[in-house]
Structure 1
Amino acid sequence: MMVDLDLTAADIIFALEREVPDRRPIIDGIRRRAPVRVLAAALRVSERPLTRQLLCDLIGLRAARSALPELLGALDDHHRGVRASAADAIAKALAYGGTQPASPSLARRVLPALLAHWESEPTPQVRSVLATALGSVGDTSVRPLLQAALDDPHEEVRLAAEWSLGRLGEVSS
């Protein structure tokens, strides 16, 4: 991976918000070149929902635990797509970021925020990704919540809860 230490949050936001017929090469270039700290800084200051969503996706591709504070903040976004991308990036950071599973201290910092958003999130699309993130924390205290989610009226929430229970070592029926 080529990291460009001279890239700024403003550079990234400008690149993502340029009108182009195909944004994929830009996103790929940012994915390869931008330091996670700069992606996180851009997420903090970006004003456009699509840009914030793309930044969450880019951070998720890195499975970057260092950006968890910004991602947790993005769970409060007014736009469903940003919240879903933030929850997905959190799940990736917890499940695949680092060489070790999430530490108990990391779980204690992340779990309350995920639980609060689980309780208040109105959309099944975001709730399904939150269910995945809850399972990625690795804390078995969420089992009853995930078991209850197996009866959710929305299939995507039920499937995510089932995946998370499997990750926690509990096979559902």
Structure 2
Amino acid sequence: MKTTTRNILFLLTVFALLLSACKANVSRNGDGSLDVETSITQQELQEVISSSIADPLIQNLTVSLQSGYILASGTRQRLNDSSNTDTLSFRLDLEASNGELVATISDAQLDGKPIEQNRVENWNQTITNRIALIGQKNPNSTLKSVTITSSEVIMIWNVAR
């Protein structure tokens, strides 16, 4: 029970820090709704992706923002031989679909071999949920667009009155 409480408190603290670090710009639309632009830095994104993967054997996970997509790479210790590591890599695309964020990992490999699809789907959902928590400041908002630059991820949210 103590471990569960401690884990929940840790996650809440991480989310609070990430939320406070996120920048936002606000503009009013003609219909009275607001467009809120939030940005997430490479470091914030790296922390979100690392915590989303949640594999203690994965180390040195780095995120590289490219124009339009994200590259992630790291090393994973072998389960029965911690002196050997395998290389982990994948591409991450973010998009707005029906007002919500969708994260899609592709080309996920561990030492050149494809990673199991069920694991990738789990990572997709967890990354989607955690990035949306950072960017979405209002529960009445819908995601209009996502732009990935070499320095940040920019999300435009529409907030209805």
Q: Same fold (TM over 0.5)?
A: no
Higher relative contact order structure (alpha carbons within 8 Å, sequence separation ≥ 6)? 2
| TM-score when normalising by structure 2 | 0.26
| TM-score when normalising by structure 1 | 0.25
Greater fraction strand: 2
- Structure with higher Rg: it is 2
